[in-house]
Amino acid sequence: MNPFLAVVAAGFLARLSYQMARSPVLPRFAEHLGAAPELIGLVVAASTVTGVLFKLPAGALSDLFGRRRVMLLGAVFFAVPPFLYPFVEDTASLLALRFVHGFATAIFSPVASAYVAGLSEAGRGARLGWFSSASDVGATAGPLIGGLVLYATASFTASYLLVGVIGVLALGAALLVPENETTTAPAKSSLITRAVEFRNGLRDVITTPAVLTAAAAEATMYLGFGAFLGFLPLYARAAGLNDAAIAVVLALELAIAVVAKPFAGSLSDRLGRKPVIVLGLFACAAALPLIFRTTSLVGLLAAVPLLGLGVAAVTPATNALIADLVAARRLGTGMGVFGTIWDVGEAAGPILAGILIGQIGYERAFDVIAAIIAAVAVMFAIRVRIATASIGGRE
């Protein structure tokens, strides 16, 4: 199989399996086990904590041992943990299993992105856009299929067994991905040599200001997007919309993002990463105050495409920019840094929004979040221009 198609198929199946396990089955399962709302939130967030802790080392290890090996390790965590859910009988065990299951995306995601970015510099943004869109389709279909299976069978066991089967298919697709990367350490190098190379890789990436700035741009976009996902349903319900209407609004935003990502990535290949990222951030900053000042279905359907376009512009272009900025042998480390900072932003979005909404209400809360995104866009435009000029990167 074509290497790109193989990794896209693996990414689609992996996200499909992972999101089926997460929503809406997981909160229902935790509630079934007697978890209080606070503990349910912790259970849902446990896998994100794994990503924050392990995406960076996973990416760096792929620079040392090869992308395919590390991707396969991540794919094992898609295939095995789901079959353990039927044996869970208390919330403590569920919490531990969720943390372990989180190794799937923590290991696989940054390494798969590095693999796609490393296939060729030409068309890098477009490829990353297609890869991201395929993963998003899997992430969207997962909750839908999981909810339908749970509704049809009323069985958590059946739901998680299907999750496991799809995880096994993801592992099978990953096995079709050929190794096409050279590692930074010789095959027979000592543990000390590999440890030194690991440290040097982290230092090279973390001390490149443009890498951190690009990762911060993505994280800030996800700060706003995470807040949107977390609170649009509550806001829309308070405005009088029913669950079906809310689902249509969310589906429209996601559909716009999925369709536009490959085109935005291709645009960044032609025009440069920076203008696409800056425009995307400003689109997100403009969309959020509009969305949370709208109380009709028609108004929301008119406003959310702007957010979808903003998300579509930022994600593939920032991924490609990270790949442009770091040496080919450091792609895994670069994507690991990127993924870690991204997870922090995504996790912080609902938390920050909840605090602000409680204090100043929806409109002003999302005005503040939009102002943060706009400020980061300006900082990104200034700092990346200066930083890339010194290392020969592209703007």
Domain boundaries, the chain: 3-183, 202-391
Residues 204 and 326 sit within 8 Å (Cβ to Cβ) = yes
For 25, residues 6+ apart whose C-beta sits below 8 A from its C-beta are: 146, 147, 150, 156, 159, 160
pLDDT at residue number 204: 60
pLDDT at residue number 351: 74
pLDDT in tens, 93-111: 999 999 999 999 999 998 9
Q: How far is CA 117 from the centre of its chain?
A: 16
Q: How far apart are CA 259 and CA 134, in angstroms?
A: 10
pLDDT at residue number 386: 43
More confident residue, 120 or 189: 120
pLDDT at residue number 31: 85
Q: Is the peptide bond preceding residue 57 cis, with omega within 30 degrees of 0?
A: no
- Is the pLDDT at 387 greater than 60, yes or no? no
Q: Residue 24 — φ and ψ, nearest 5°?
A: -90, 10
CATH of domain 3-183: 1.20.1250.20
- Is the pLDDT at 270 greater than 80, yes or no? yes
- Residue 38: pLDDT band (50, 70, 90) is low
pLDDT at residue number 394: 41
Average pLDDT of the residues in 284-305: 91
Tokens 């094992």 label which residue? 76
Residue of 373, 33, 56, 25 lying closest to 203 (CA atoms): 56
- Is the pLDDT at 113 greater than 70, yes or no? yes
202-391: what CATH class? mainly alpha
Instruction: Tell me the two tokens of residue 350.
Output: 């609902």
- Is the pLDDT at 139 greater than 80, yes or no? yes
∠ CA(140), CA(141), CA(146), 5° rounding? 115
- Is the pLDDT at 211 greater than 50, yes or no? yes
- Is the pLDDT at 171 greater than 90, yes or no? yes
pLDDT at residue number 39: 80
In terms of pTM, does the model score above 0.85?
A: no
